Every structure is written in structure tokens, then in C-alpha cells.
Chain A
Amino acid sequence: MITPEIIEIKTDVAVIGGGTAGLNCAMAAAESDCDVLVVEKANIVRSGAIAGGIDHFMAYMENGEDWDSREAYLGYVARVAKGASNLKIHEKVYCDELPAAIERIESLGISLRDPRYPNSQDFFRTQSMGQPGPYWINFDGKKLKPRMAREVNRRGCRVLNRVQVTNIFLHDGELAGFTGFDIRTGDFYLIHAKTIIISTGNTNRMFRTQNGNPFNLWYCPANTGDLHRAAYDAGVELANMEYVRMTIVTKGFSTPGFNAFFGMGCKLVNSLGESFTKNYHPMGDKAPRNVMVWGALQEIKEGRGPIYMDARHLSTEDLDHLFKTLGTDKDTLPDYLAAKGYLKDGAMIEMTVSEPMQARPSELCGAGIKIDENCASNVPGIYAAGDAADQMGCLHMCTAGGFAAGKAAAAYAGTVTKHHPVDMTAVRDERERVFKPLGRNSGLHYSEFENVVRIITSDHFGPIKTELSLNAALEKLDGIDGERNNLRATNLHELMRCHESSNIHQVAKIMAHAALVRKESRFAPYHYRADYLETDDDNYCGLIGISKGADGQAQTRFEPLEYPI
């Protein structure tokens, strides 16, 4: 085992996770007088969800059409994300910030204009996911992440790359600091901060995948709920944790592409060649994502699988653009489609349902740290943004809401006169905990442990669940606590993975606890209780808040949400 020196750094605002949201947080906080530090597990130039590019930004644009107004958009949120999205927070972190977010992206030299024609000044807008009109702006975001990283550097933020944050420390119930280690050098850091913004994405690698490789995922495998777990242990309340998110992906390769396929007019068909989505929702292939996934699961279950993406009716121009934009979103998807032999003409691409993951049930909310209208959690000094927060997710909200969180956290830091002290005994204990797997000669390898977690979660709530299945999952997950505390690593890369696996395991328990309490089904199959099949708005239209009680056990509470329709 190694026992490195404790390297101490002081900052006003620390952003944990330099992904899409985190970099927007940093840009905003840098506009204040605060010192800003970004701590990132990889390198902010290409880390997180949009490392390889992105191609859709959701926006209403007030262009005079009925569907294109703020009111119509909020009506859409109320319809599609009912029971999970808090409209007041949504307005504050998204609507109020939207025009500035669009301007900011373009000011970085990333055009949001029609990617099909050079120098176009028009937006190319497409419709899917239950939208009342074409809210998706299709654009070329291949360079968005590096440009944001450059801007964060230009604004004078300090950046610690390749540091995995491991735990949060409070003083008298308020934030004092956090620890992390460098995954290449083993340096151990204690960061004293007046405020932190947690923007570490959702939790992946938690469920079985279509081909057995836990890293072949739709979402970023480096996001493993590290800070969901750390925040929960520090007393932070989480919400929307019961939802298991899935999508439609190409068979053999889990990637995004849903917006592109359906936005460009593709049809999902079963193995009889029948378009089936209208059987599940009047909007057919333009239905909300969860309904499409539900329909696909039923077709497969009832023997009409495999399913296919039918692009045969698209014009040559649209097909060309479809294949191009698929590669903008997922750089290697065109290579894969070529390797599979799918020709652009007459393509019937075999699809399937992706692996489940811990994340938001809709593109109009989030899942994770429960935030208020100022992006603050219940613990003073701890803020959250992006996929790690319960009211944010997707590019549009991570960009707009990330900025809102950065502003609010910096304003809070401005009111804190001095840093709270951190208990150094606790920090030394944490250092010992962090490096312990390196000193073990026995114990499970992280991959073996993680596989056990995935079998339990997939069998018991991936995605279908009942009271019995959830209780059994919790019993089994508790039953491997001993193995989790005895993981073995032979180098720093494996050490990082050990902590990731351990966090995945603990977030899985939080999910199962939250899912037990929601005795209804909502956003099926994302929360599908086989023992409570109906959506029960009278009792469950709202958030399940989950936090760690004084006895160490999960405690939950229900917070109702109201909608005008």
C-alpha cells in the first residue's frame, strides 16, 4: 500500500466533474471574483458523455408558431415528465438561461446552424420524443467539448485532470472540503472549498449489457455514481433515483442515435416488417423515449423480434445526412454500420433495447442530487448540476442549468467569509481507505465484483421490479458488502475501478430502496412495478427524496409536484 503526502489546495468554488455541465458551471463561476477549480477524473478536453461529439440541442425558439413558445414548451414538460420534473426549477435553470446558453455555444465557435449546408444561418430542427413541434436543433458538436475546455482555461479556472474524487467532508453540517487521488501518480489531494458543484453525470456499468461487455454502453462508463454515493454518505438528499433509463440502440453496439433516426423520419419495425409504435402511442415513432422502449420490449417478448430501424423510405440526401450526424454524435457508429455491411440504400438496421442505467426518466428532468431553484442541495455549500442532479440532464439543461448552478454557487461562496476546517483524522482515514486495495494480496478483482452486482440488479430491477424482487436485491446487495470492502488492485488504474465498482454497488442499493417506496408504475419500463401496474397520480405524482438517516439506513419522503394540466 502507498501512503502519499496530503496535498492541500484552497479554492472558493470547486466543480467536481468537468463534463458538459461542469464546464458551464466553471465558466459561470469564473465571472465572479471567486477562485474556481475544476477536478476531473479524465481530461476536460475530452471527458464524459460528449467526449466524441454531440448533435442535438433541445430548444423552443419563440418563432411565432404555437408550439414554439415557452408556455407550449412547459406544457410539453408537464405532459411528458409528469411526476419527475419540477416546473418551477425547470423554468429557472433552463428557460431563464436558454437564450444565453445558445449564444454561449455559438460564441465558442460552434455553430448551431444547419449542419447540412456550409455557412447556413438557419436552424435545422427535427421532432421526436413526444414533442409538439421540432424542438431538436440538429448541429455539429464534434468540437463542443474541447472548445468549452479552452474557454474554461481562458477564463482563468484552475484544472486538476485525472483526479478521482473520493469523499466529501463537512464541518457542523456545512461543506468543508473533499478528497481525491491522481489516477496516474497516486498523489492524494485534500481540497478546501467554500462550495462545490457536483457534476459527475449519472451511474453506468450497473446492469448487464447486450453483449456482456460492461463498457459497451450508450452512456459514459467513467460515470459511476462516485459523487451520488459520496454526497449521500454526507447527508445529501437524492431524488428520481428509482428510475432505470434505457433506449433503442443498434444490435451489438450500444450508442446514441435515437434523436437522429427518429428525427430524420426512420420507422421502427418488427420482424414481420410491421411498423408497431402506433400500437403503443398515437405519436408512433415520434413518441416519448420510454414508450418506444416499452413497445420494443413488448414486440421482442411476444415473439416479433428482432426489431429493425427502417430507413428505406428516406431520400438519398436525408440518408446521407442521417449517417453523417450519427457519426457526429457517436464517432465510431458509422464505422460499425459499415463493418456490419449496412449500405445506405435500403438500410434495415437491426436494433435492440439498450442496457439499463441509473438516470433520468425523461429528457426534461434529471436523477440524483435533489436541487432547489438555485441548484443547491439540502447541505449548505453543496450544489449540483447536469445528469448528477435530479432536475437536469441532456445537453440543453446541462449547458443552461450548469451555468445557473455556477452563478448560484459563486454567489454563495461570496457570502462565506472563511473556509470551514476539515477534520484531518477523517482525511487520513480516508487516505487509508482509498489506497487499501493496493495492499491486498487476496480479495476480489473489481470486474468480478461488478459482475455480481450487475447480475443482481439486472435480475431484480433491470427494469421490471416488485416488492419481493427489490427486497431480495437489497438482501443480496447487502450480502456482498464484505467483498466490496475487500477489493484488490494491482495498479492505480485498477484502484480507480475498485472505487467505481464500490460506488456502483452502493448506488444500486439507493435505487432499490427508492423503487420500493414508489408503489405504482411511471414512465414504464423505467419504473415498472409488476405488483402496481398503474400510474397513480393521486398518491405518487412527485419526487421520492432519499437520504441517509442518523442510523445509517435509507430514509425516504415524498414531495408532491403540481402541474397546470
Chain B
Amino acid sequence: MPAVISQTKCTGCGLCDLFCPIDVIHMEGDVAIMRYPDECWHCGACRLHCSKGAVTFEFPASMAGI
């Protein structure tokens, strides 16, 4: 998983969805969902705009493991 959104911390402001340059986060109801995790560029824009600290990064084995 790349950007990981905590469903408990997310308050649904929608900024991460709005500013993701690759269109990979979509709001579903009141929470942000990482809909296309394989397409995340890891640019960090979502985290930069999340005032709730709901976005963290996890690097898959195909990145951190090699």
C-alpha cells in the first residue's frame, strides 16, 4: 500500500481527493478512499493537505524490499 488513509481519523474534508494529481483518491460518502493504490505516485500532496493526520505511507515489498 502507498498512501494509507485512516478511516477513523479522516473527517471527510475531501482535500486529499481534490488535490491528488493522479486521481487515485476518491471520496466515498464521508471518507476518503484510496481507490487506485497501484497508481499512487507517492507525491505526498494528500498528506500535505490533511489537517487530521489521517494519511501515512506504507511502502510495499516491491519498493522497500528490493
Q: Chain A residues in contact with chain B, CB under 8 A?
A: 42-43, 45-48, 51-53, 142, 162, 183, 210-213, 215-217, 220-222, 251-253, 255, 330-332, 335-336, 339-340, 493, 496
The reply to whether the CB of B39 lies closer than 8 angstroms to some CB of chain A is: yes
The reply to whether the CB of B45 lies closer than 8 angstroms to some CB of chain A is: yes
Whether B59 and A253, one on each chain, are in contact in the complex, defined by CB atoms closer than 8 angstroms, is yes
Q: Which A residue's beta carbon lies closest to that of B62?
A: A211
Annotate B1-36 by CB proximity to A: 1 below 8 A, 0 otherwise.
000000000000000001111110000000000011
Selected contact of A215 from candidates B39, B59, B65, CB within 8 Å: B39
Chain B residues lying within 8 Å of A340, measured Cβ to Cβ, are 64
Whether A215 and B41, one on each chain, are in contact in the complex, defined by CB atoms closer than 8 angstroms, is yes
Contact A332 B64, CB 8 Å, known A42-B20, A46-B21, A142-B48:
no
Q: List 29 A-B contacts (CB under 8 A).
A: A42-B21, A43-B18, A51-B21, A52-B43, A52-B48, A53-B44, A211-B62, A211-B63, A211-B66, A212-B62, A213-B38, A215-B40, A216-B41, A217-B41, A220-B43, A251-B66, A252-B65, A253-B59, A253-B64, A255-B42, A330-B42, A330-B44, A331-B44, A332-B42, A332-B43, A335-B59, A336-B59, A336-B64, A496-B23
Whether B65 and A221, one on each chain, are in contact in the complex, defined by CB atoms closer than 8 angstroms, is no
Selected contact of A335 from candidates B39, B57, B66, CB within 8 Å: B57
Interface size on B, residues (CB 8 A): 26
Whether B64 and A339, one on each chain, are in contact in the complex, defined by CB atoms closer than 8 angstroms, is yes
Q: How far is the CA of A183 from the CA of B20 in the complex (A)?
A: 13
Q: How far is the CA of A428 from the CA of B49 in the complex (A)?
A: 39
Whether A493 and B36, one on each chain, are in contact in the complex, defined by CB atoms closer than 8 angstroms, is yes
Selected contact of A222 from candidates B21, B35, B47, CB within 8 Å: B21
Q: How far is the CA of A32 from the CA of B66 in the complex (A)?
A: 53
Q: How far is the CA of A48 from the CA of B45 in the complex (A)?
A: 11
Q: Given contacts A45-B18, A162-B23, list 18 more A-B pairs with CB under 8 A.
A: A42-B21, A42-B22, A42-B23, A46-B19, A46-B20, A46-B49, A52-B44, A210-B66, A211-B62, A213-B63, A215-B39, A215-B40, A216-B63, A217-B41, A330-B43, A331-B48, A336-B57, A340-B64
Contact A216 B21, CB 8 Å, known A142-B48, A336-B59:
no
Q: How far is the CA of A45 from the CA of B46 in the complex (A)?
A: 12
Q: How far is the CA of A332 from the CA of B55 in the complex (A)?
A: 12
Q: How far is the CA of A14 from the CA of B38 in the complex (A)?
A: 33
Chain B residues lying within 8 Å of A183, measured Cβ to Cβ, are 23
Selected contact of A332 from candidates B38, B44, B62, B65, CB within 8 Å: B44
Chain B residues lying within 8 Å of A217, measured Cβ to Cβ, are 41
Q: How far is the CA of A183 from the CA of B62 in the complex (A)?
A: 29
Distance of A500 from chain B, by nearest CB (Å): 11
Q: How far is the CA of A371 from the CA of B14 in the complex (A)?
A: 39
Contact A213 B62, CB 8 Å, known A52-B44, A221-B41, A332-B57:
yes
Q: How far is the CA of A216 from the CA of B18 in the complex (A)?
A: 21
Whether A52 and B45, one on each chain, are in contact in the complex, defined by CB atoms closer than 8 angstroms, is yes
Chain A residues lying within 8 Å of B45, measured Cβ to Cβ, are 46, 51-52, 331
Whether A48 and B21, one on each chain, are in contact in the complex, defined by CB atoms closer than 8 angstroms, is yes
Q: How far is the CA of A61 from the CA of B35 in the complex (A)?
A: 46
Distance of A44 from chain B, by nearest CB (Å): 10
Chain B residues lying within 8 Å of A253, measured Cβ to Cβ, are 42, 59, 63-64
Q: How far is the CA of A215 from the CA of B43 in the complex (A)?
A: 11
Chain B residues lying within 8 Å of A210, measured Cβ to Cβ, are 66
Distance of B20 from chain A, by nearest CB (Å): 7
Chain A residues lying within 8 Å of B49, measured Cβ to Cβ, are 46
Q: How far is the CA of A47 from the CA of B21 in the complex (A)?
A: 5
Distance of B28 from chain A, by nearest CB (Å): 13
Chain A residues lying within 8 Å of B39, measured Cβ to Cβ, are 215, 221
Q: How far is the CA of A217 from the CA of B43 in the complex (A)?
A: 10
Distance of B2 from chain A, by nearest CB (Å): 8
Q: How far is the CA of A53 from the CA of B39 in the complex (A)?
A: 19
> Which of A48, A51, A162, A493 gathers most chain B CB within 10 Å?
A51
10 closest residue pairs by CB, A with B: A331-B44, A52-B43, A46-B19, A46-B45, A52-B44, A42-B21, A51-B21, A252-B63, A332-B42, A211-B62
Selected contact of B41 from candidates A43, A162, A220, A336, CB within 8 Å: A220
> Which of A142, A336, A496 gathers most chain B CB within 10 Å?
A336
Q: How far is the CA of A253 from the CA of B57 in the complex (A)?
A: 13
Contact A43 B19, CB 8 Å, known A52-B43, A52-B44, A331-B47:
yes
Distance of A167 from chain B, by nearest CB (Å): 20
> Which of B22, B40, B41, B47 gathers most chain A CB within 10 Å?
B41
Whether B38 and A215, one on each chain, are in contact in the complex, defined by CB atoms closer than 8 angstroms, is yes
Whether A336 and B63, one on each chain, are in contact in the complex, defined by CB atoms closer than 8 angstroms, is yes
Distance of B8 from chain A, by nearest CB (Å): 21
Whether B19 and A45, one on each chain, are in contact in the complex, defined by CB atoms closer than 8 angstroms, is yes
Q: How far is the CA of A45 from the CA of B18 in the complex (A)?
A: 9
Q: How far is the CA of A48 from the CA of B57 in the complex (A)?
A: 20
Chain B residues lying within 8 Å of A493, measured Cβ to Cβ, are 23, 35-36
Q: Which A residue's beta carbon lies closest to that of B16?
A: A46
Q: How far is the CA of A253 from the CA of B47 in the complex (A)?
A: 18
Distance of B44 from chain A, by nearest CB (Å): 3
Whether B21 and A220, one on each chain, are in contact in the complex, defined by CB atoms closer than 8 angstroms, is yes
Chain B residues lying within 8 Å of A496, measured Cβ to Cβ, are 23
Chain B residues lying within 8 Å of A43, measured Cβ to Cβ, are 18-19, 21
Chain A residues lying within 8 Å of B20, measured Cβ to Cβ, are 42, 46
